[in-house]
Amino acid sequence: MVGICSYGAYVPLYRLAREIMVLEGKGGAGERSVAGADEDALTMAVDAILDCTKGMDRGSIDGLLHASTSSPFAEKQIAAAVAAALDFGDNILTADIGNSLRGGLTAMRMAVDTIKAGSAKKIMVAASDCRLGSPLSAIEANGGDGAAALLVGDKDVIATIEGFYSFSTDFTDTWRPATDRFVHVWNDRFSIPEGYTPMMQSTIAAAMKKFGLEPKNITKLVYSGPDARAHAGIAAALKFDPKTQVQDGLFSVMGNTGTAHPLMLLVAALEQAKPGDTLLVAGWGDGVDVMYLKVTDAIEKARDRHGVLGYLKSKKMVPTYQKYLRLRHLFYVEPSRMTPITPGLAQLWRERDSMYKLHASKCKQCGWIEFPIRRICPKCYSKDNYEQVKLLEEKVKLYSFSTDTIPTIPEVTDPPQGRAIIDFANGARLELEMTDFGNIQDLKVGQPMEMTFRRLERQGDVAAYAWKCKPVR
């Protein structure tokens, strides 16, 4: 039976309290997740997949389907970049699914059909979003940033996928013109009662009829929504018990994470699921997709993930709304007088095994491990006598660190800048940028670190990403 073999998620470290945002003269309740200055839909997808594939051979995955409405590129595939960074291999299927908030569940259906057709054994589905609402708008306040990843396969399944049901419509409630950075939203006095509420209710009811289910047969109803109020009305109308049968929408601690929202809520549900539980998952956006699952005994083997709930436990509050605007690159600053930095794409391509896949060279003669890969061993000077070793799976410790507390470069939106020298368990040593480290006084030599794939600032319009390190969350 085809189903979910593993799950993972990612919630950024930063949180913004809604009470410091002025929305129609009132401060909101709770907080939302906020991507860092060097994070976007691509980088968050990498972190979610790292969580999903903990302890696995990612080279055995046959494809990657990525869903997002906030790709950092108008023309360039996120899925291919993520697969390269995570060393999936070259002969795999990659595809981006964009422009719809229900793209994650659409990708799940495509993955299941691909496996049932015999074209693949394992397909990774990831959904991530970092959407921009206009400053001080409701969509900015209710939104959130995050990612989810689900490995779909036909062996070692933790939750079987029993079926799908879809409803498509051209109803417009949110949209973003190709020439605009900000998501537009129609008046919710029309879009909620005429669109989201009746269409979500009728589609879930139709799906239950197709699957021969009643509310009492469902352990957990998992579904996305534009905000907490609209979300709450769906379950009550369908006669589900909101206290015991409905997955928390996490609006007060994370917000609506766009395309990732239904899959992130599914991950949160799986984190608490027991063998035999039944889950009904629905995602809204240009219609509704519904997925029906049954949890198996193998769920107990997937408890070592961060997941949504694990990541929500660690956070750093954004102190001011102005700081939030800086993280979003929405606060204008005078450009630096320093010479612009433009990464060389030819060099990045030549050194892709090191820069993207995080491979080092291990000398076959003396065993010295060097990063980046070198043709000549710096210890014994043997030439072209090495093998590539993967560093991403190795445990990491902090050897040394420093920060530049003087924000001399205005384009760097989250000073201080940190750099670190880290030691891998196999003996490799690497000097690189450090991120998400909070107060420098809290760092200690020898503490565990972990790798994270982030965007390089000051690169202009060049698609430049690299591995950085951060304290273990």
Taking only the tens place, the pLDDT of each residue in 278-324 is 999 999 999 999 999 999 999 999 999 999 999 999 999 999 998 89
Q: Are strands 14-17 and 316-317 parallel, antiparallel or unpaired?
A: parallel
Q: pLDDT at position 21, please?
A: 81
H or E element: which one contains 123?
strand 122-129
| Spans of the chain, pLDDT less than 50 | 25
Q: pLDDT at position 413, please?
A: 67
Q: pLDDT at position 412, please?
A: 63
What is the rounded distance in angstroms from the CA atom of residue 159 to the CA atom of residue 152?
10
Tens digits of per-residue pLDDT, 62-116?
A: 999 999 999 999 999 999 999 999 999 889 999 999 999 999 999 999 999 999 9
Burial class of residue 410 in the structure, from the number of CB atoms within 10 Å of its CB (0-12 exposed, 13-18 middle, 19+ buried): middle
CA separation, residue 294 to residues 111, 166, 177, 274 (Å): 17, 19, 39, 10
Q: pLDDT at position 188, please?
A: 87
What is the rounded distance in angstroms from the CA atom of residue 105 to the CA atom of residue 337?
47
Q: pLDDT at position 340, please?
A: 65
Domains of the chain: 3-327 (3.40.47.10), 345-471 (no CATH)
Residue 187 and residue 173 in contact, taking contact as beta carbons nearer than 8 Å = no
Q: pLDDT at position 234, please?
A: 96
Tens digits of per-residue pLDDT, 396-421?
A: 999 999 988 665 555 566 778 899 99
Tens digits of per-residue pLDDT, 441-451?
A: 899 999 999 99
pTM across the whole model: 0.95
Structure tokens at 348: 């990045």
Structure tokens at 415: 């000073």
Q: pLDDT at position 95, please?
A: 98
